[in-house]
């Protein structure tokens, strides 16, 4: 299934993408958002069976972030080729940092560039969306806890990151992380919970990043197992599984983002975030 949270004239709604008379439609599922759907033990099963409800054309609604997570866990250095190009050794355990929920915005919202940020970088990442409570899972339980996947654009202020010598500090600011547009269930993807998908980033139509999730050092299942060793993961929580590269690492300072640029972070079979860099204040992430 392709599931989303959209804003209509009457508020936010959880929807399922369907084909109706040769056109894509969004079918309302009876939940205010996908987090509420996932929190219902029967939510995904009900969504799969749903065939009746209000319908919307995608262009008539506003896509917001599919879920509003309590926990946003980020993985560093998780693509084999990226690790080698950085001259690092393959980690024995996932290298983690975190974001705040206030960093999450919708898949098409503007990205507000802080006035004092001169080295903004973008990066496409596959995001694991948790669909059921999980703690200390074995492999089977970790697989079952994955509701699906979505896309994040991990915007990072490299100046702040390197100034503080702290991985996560450069990408926790409010309104900095587009997420969406769809949560895609594993059955829709080649490889299921270990999908093999091409990821790309373009800036003003120029490709600055490309990779494939087949190169992930730690799989989505392994990431769920590791993170859930030391915290409860609940429906709607997300794990950003890492970036195949960083545009500024490959293209130098000229890859740093400027006001007015158009960024597209895309994962085949899932969708894309399309965002404009602006100096205006960030949108309300709620």
Kindly report the three-state secondary structure assignment for every residue of the chain.
CEEEEEEECCEEEEEEEEEECCEEEEEECCCCCHHHHHHCCCHHHHHHHCCCCCEECHHHCEECCCCCCCCEEEEECCEHHHHHHCCCCCCCCCEEEEECHHHEECCCCCEECCCCCCCEECCEEEEEEECCCECCCCHHHHHHHEEEEEEEECCEEHHHHHHHCCHHHHHCCCCCEEEEEEEECHHHCCCCCCCCCEEEEEECCEEEEEEEHHHECCCHHHHHHHHCCCCCECCCCEEECCCCCCHHHHHCHHHCCCCCCEEEEEECCCEEEEEEEECCCCCCCC
The answer to whether residues 13 and 28 touch, using CB atoms and an 8 Å cutoff, is: yes
pLDDT band at 136 (very low <50, low <70, confident <90, very high): very high
Q: What is the average pLDDT across 121-148? A: 97
Nearest to 180 by CA among 52, 61, 21, 57: 61
Sign of CA dihedral 271, 277, 278, 281: positive
| pLDDT exceeds 80 at position 84 | no
| pLDDT exceeds 70 at position 14 | yes
The answer to whether residues 256 and 121 touch, using CB atoms and an 8 Å cutoff, is: yes
| pLDDT exceeds 60 at position 91 | yes
Which pLDDT score, from 0 to 100, does residue 81 have? 77
Q: What is the average pLDDT across 253-279? A: 92
- pLDDT tens digit sequence for 111-128: 988 877 778 889 999 999
| Beta bridge mates, 157 | 120
The Cα–Cα gap between 43 and 131 comes to 10
The answer to whether residues 31 and 12 touch, using CB atoms and an 8 Å cutoff, is: no
**159 or 277: which carries more pLDDT confidence?**
277
CA dist list (Å): 176 to 104, 124, 276: 7, 13, 12
pLDDT band at 186 (very low <50, low <70, confident <90, very high): very high
The answer to whether residues 181 and 107 touch, using CB atoms and an 8 Å cutoff, is: yes
If one counts every other C-beta atom within 10 angstroms of the C-beta of residue 152, the result is 28
Nearest to 152 by CA among 74, 255, 251: 74
| pLDDT exceeds 80 at position 82 | no
Q: What is the average pLDDT across 61-70? A: 97
Q: What is the average pLDDT across 272-276? A: 98
Domain 72-278 part of CATH 3.90.850.10: yes
Mean pLDDT of the chain: 90
pTM of the model: 0.93
Which pLDDT score, from 0 to 100, does residue 279 have? 84
The answer to whether residues 79 and 50 touch, using CB atoms and an 8 Å cutoff, is: no
Domain boundaries, the chain: 2-63, 72-278
Which pLDDT score, from 0 to 100, does residue 86 have? 66
């Amino acid at each position: 299934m392709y599931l989303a949270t959209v804003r209509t004239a009457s508020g936010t709604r959880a929807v399922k993408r369907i084909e109706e008379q040769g056109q894509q439609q969004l079918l309302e599922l009876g939940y205010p958002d996908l987090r509420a759907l996932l929190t219902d033990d029967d939510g995904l099963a009900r969504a799969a069976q749903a065939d009746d409800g209000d319908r919307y054309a995608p262009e008539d609604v506003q896509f917001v972030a599919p879920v509003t997570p309590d926990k946003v866990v980020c993985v560093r250095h998780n693509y084999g080729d990226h690790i080698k190009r950085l001259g690092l050794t393959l980690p024995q355990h996932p290298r983690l940092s975190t974001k705040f929920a206030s960093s999450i915005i919708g898949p098409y919202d503007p990205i507000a560039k802080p006035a004092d940020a001169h080295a903004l970088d973008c990066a496409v990442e596959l995001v694991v969306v948790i669909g059921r409570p999980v703690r200390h899972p074995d492999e089977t339980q970790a697989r079952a806890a994955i509701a699906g996947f979505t896309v994040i654009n991990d915007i990072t202020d490299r100046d702040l990151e390197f100034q503080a010598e702290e991985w996560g500090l450069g990408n926790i600011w409010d309104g900095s992380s587009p997420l969406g547009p769809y949560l895609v269930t594993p059955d829709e993807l080649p490889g299921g919970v270990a999908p093999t998908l091409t990821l790309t980033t373009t800036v003003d139509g120029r490709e600055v990043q490309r990779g494939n999730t087949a190169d992930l050092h730690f799989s989505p299942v392994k990431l769920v197992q590791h993170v859930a060793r030391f915290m409860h993961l609940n429906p709607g929580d997300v794990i950003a599984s890492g970036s195949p590269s960083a545009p500024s690492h490959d293209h130098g300072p000229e890859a740093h983002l400027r006001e007015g640029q158009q960024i597209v972070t895309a994962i085949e079979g899932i969708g894309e975030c399309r965002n404009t860099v602006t100096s205006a204040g960030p949108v309300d992430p709620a």
